[in-house]
């Protein structure tokens, strides 16, 4: 059995926001507006990961510049995660903030964009 690889990280700064990774992944100003930039961390391998917090769900989306997603596992450790699942998890329960039809469509589009090509192809 292979164990998940945990990567140490520490806060690098929390003054100069970088919205690029979030904008690249979500491709929607309406969806990006749901987030607060909380800071960035530097992983032990030099990767910079930006921390975005959803205003309604209070869940974090941790994104590197290259589009990889990470989850915080505690004790200043992170683990690479599936991007589609990470996006889905952060939006889980967002219906309480009454998203518009345009926001719902934008989320579906962002999720489809993250799926591997074989998974995204329509059946049939």
pLDDT in tens, the chain (124 residues): 455 689 999 999 999 999 999 999 999 999 999 999 999 999 999 999 999 999 999 999 999 999 999 999 999 999 999 999 999 999 999 999 999 999 999 999 999 999 875 454 454 4
Instruction: Give the domain extent around 93.
Output: 7-114
Integer Cα distance of 49 and 41 in angstroms: 5
The b/e string for 92-108 (b: 16+ C-beta within 10 A; e otherwise) is eebeeeebeeebeebbe
Residue 124 inside a domain? The answer is no
Residue 1 inside a domain? The answer is no
Q: Please give the tally of structural domains in the chain.
A: 1
State residue 112's pLDDT score: 94
- Is residue 63 packed enough to be buried (19+ CB in 10 Å), middle (13-18) or exposed (0-12)? buried
Residue 52 inside a domain? The answer is yes
Residue 121 inside a domain? The answer is no
Give me the phi and psi of 91, to 5 degrees please. -95, 0
Residue 63 inside a domain? The answer is yes
Residue 122 inside a domain? The answer is no
Residue 119 inside a domain? The answer is no
Residue 120 inside a domain? The answer is no
State residue 119's pLDDT score: 55
H or E stretch covering 70: strand 69-74
């Amino acid at each position: 059995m292979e164990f998940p690889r945990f990567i140490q990280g520490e806060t690098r700064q929390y003054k100069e926001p970088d919205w690029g990774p979030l904008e690249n992944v979500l491709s929607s100003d309406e969806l990006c507006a749901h987030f607060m930039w909380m800071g960035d961390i530097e992983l032990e391998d030099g990767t910079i990961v930006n921390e975005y917090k959803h205003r309604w769900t209070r869940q974090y989306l941790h994104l590197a510049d290259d589009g990889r997603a990470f989850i915080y596992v505690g004790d200043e450790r992170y683990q690479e995660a599936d991007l589609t699942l990470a996006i889905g998890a952060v939006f889980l329960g967002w219906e309480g903030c009454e998203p518009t039809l345009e926001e719902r469509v934008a989320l579906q589009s962002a999720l489809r964009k993250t799926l591997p090509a074989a998974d995204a192809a329509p059946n049939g």
